[in-house]
Amino acid sequence: MKVLVLTADANTLVYHRGDLIRDFAAHGCEVVTAAAEDYPHVREYLAEAGVRHEVVRMVRSRVNLLKDWITWLDMYRLFKREKPDALFAYTIKSVVYGCVVARLAGVPRVYALLPGLGFTFVKPETLKQRAVQWISKALHRLALKRADVIFMQNRDDVQLFADLKMLPQGIPVHVTAGSGVNLEEYPHVPLEGNADIAAGRIRFVLVSRLLISKGVCVFAEAARKVKARYPKAEFHLVGPFDPNPNRVSEAEVEAWVKEGTLTHHGMVRDVAGLLKDMHVFCLPTWYREGVPHASLEALSTGRAMITTDSVGARECVPKGENGFLVPPRDVDAVVKAMEFFILNPKQTVLMGQASRVLAEEVFDVKIVNRIILGAMGITGEGRHSFESAPCSEGVGA
């Protein structure tokens, strides 16, 4: 069985779907990946797994039906050349274009995963946003009708698509616990007896693309207020600048660093190595997440959480045992949660332990990949079945 994995962002082939790609190969599949970039570290990683990587010209930050013909052409040529038995497409543009083009190219089986809906399904505030949303909904409807199986990452997204009548009748829908997290690559680093926590030197960290809707500015403002009251506290911002119009500018981050509010680490390859030195993970997002992968990494490492009671994000603090859910865009609520951890060091440790338990019981990548492989009929090394799975949901996110 030959599987072609299509995404807009090449980095996710390593950091979000590397385990799945290795599982495809371990079950006897020939795997080809395709993305908008050809990064050396991605190609090297994939080559070590016996996977070939191809490039599809694609602008991932926006949809332009008049200019994206070159993306459709590249996809069509790729599908015709590779003749895969199955397409596994994820990220929005890969799904809305890939599913349709794959059918035109004669790909026998099409699997679509929607890892998060981003800005597309947030209530529009301008005429332009309404137009973009209308086009996006039409493209999703067109694409998902061409899929054999649909994967989504939280039940809120499934309910939204059901309410909008965007889930085609008879096509199975499976809910996975986000992308899952490799518990061995992000090992538990216990905080019992940590001298810095006991002394009030709590280190808060946000790992994300630097987008306003990911709560980066909220994090910085909360850090400024907490730092004024508790100068020993540290705040760490990890992630690259992004071309998205919703981006946080270099000038803003530089100002935060210069005034001593936070430390910016930029793009970090060894996130696990960084998280082991942190104490509390904070992601005050209102972006419509699938389930934030950085949050899963923090859970696996055993870090207490501060995140928002919003779609996708709330999955990471389901019962309040491992952290706090705060309202989106509420700086004062983030400040209050941060102060709690500074003033209650034992809870920082206990909630971190609860995070690791949640990662093990719900978000283990082995659980997630088992759902995907089963739905695709990949049952063992060298064996596969193209029988369609029943309409059902997998392990809930």
Q: Which secondary structure element, helix H or strand E, spans residue 281, and what is its range?
A: strand 280-283
Q: Which amino acid is at 259?
A: E
Question: Rounded to the nearest 5 degrees, what angle is found at the Cα of 346, between the Cα atoms of 343 and 348?
Answer: 80
The CA distance from 88 to 3, in Å, is 7
Q: 111: alpha, beta or left, given left = phi > 0 and alpha = psi -120 to 50?
A: beta
* Lookup result for tokens 């020939």: 30
Is 208:244 a contact under the CB 8 Å cutoff? no
67 or 175: which leads in pLDDT: 175
Q: Which residues of 255-283 are buried (b: 16+ CB within 10 A; e: fewer)?
A: ebeeeebbebeeeeeebbebbbebbbbbb
Count Cβ atoms below 10 Å from residue 396 Cβ, excluding itself. 13
> What is the pLDDT averaged over residues 188-204?
96
Is 358:178 a contact under the CB 8 Å cutoff? no
* Lookup result for tokens 């009929």: 377
Query: What is the three-class DSSP state of 204?
Result: strand
pLDDT tens digits, residue range 352-373?
999 999 999 999 999 999 999 9
Residue 73 has pLDDT above 60, yes or no: yes
Percent of the chain with pLDDT over 90: 81
pLDDT at site 387: 37
pLDDT at site 144: 96
Q: Walk me through the domains of the chain, giving residue ranges and CATH numbers.
A: 2-180+364-384 (3.40.50.2000), 195-362 (3.40.50.2000)
* pLDDT, averaged across the chain: 91
Residue 395 has pLDDT above 70, yes or no: no
DSSP label at residue 192: T
Torsion angle of the four alpha carbons 153, 159, 160, 163, in this order, in degrees rounded to the nearest 10? 150
Residue 394 has pLDDT above 60, yes or no: no
120 pLDDT band, cuts 50/70/90, is low
pLDDT at site 380: 61
63 pLDDT band, cuts 50/70/90, is low
60 pLDDT band, cuts 50/70/90, is low
- Reference 355, options 396, 395, 322; nearest CA is 322
How far does the chain reach from its first CA to its final CA, in angstroms? Answer: 29
Bridge partners for 152 per DSSP:
114, 175
Joined together, the tokens standing for residue 157 give 């997204």
pLDDT at site 287: 84
CA dist 381 to 28, 64, 307, 369, Å?
Answer: 5, 41, 40, 15
108 pLDDT band, cuts 50/70/90, is very high
pLDDT tens digits, residue range 271-310?
999 999 999 999 999 988 889 999 999 999 999 999 999 9
pTM: 0.87
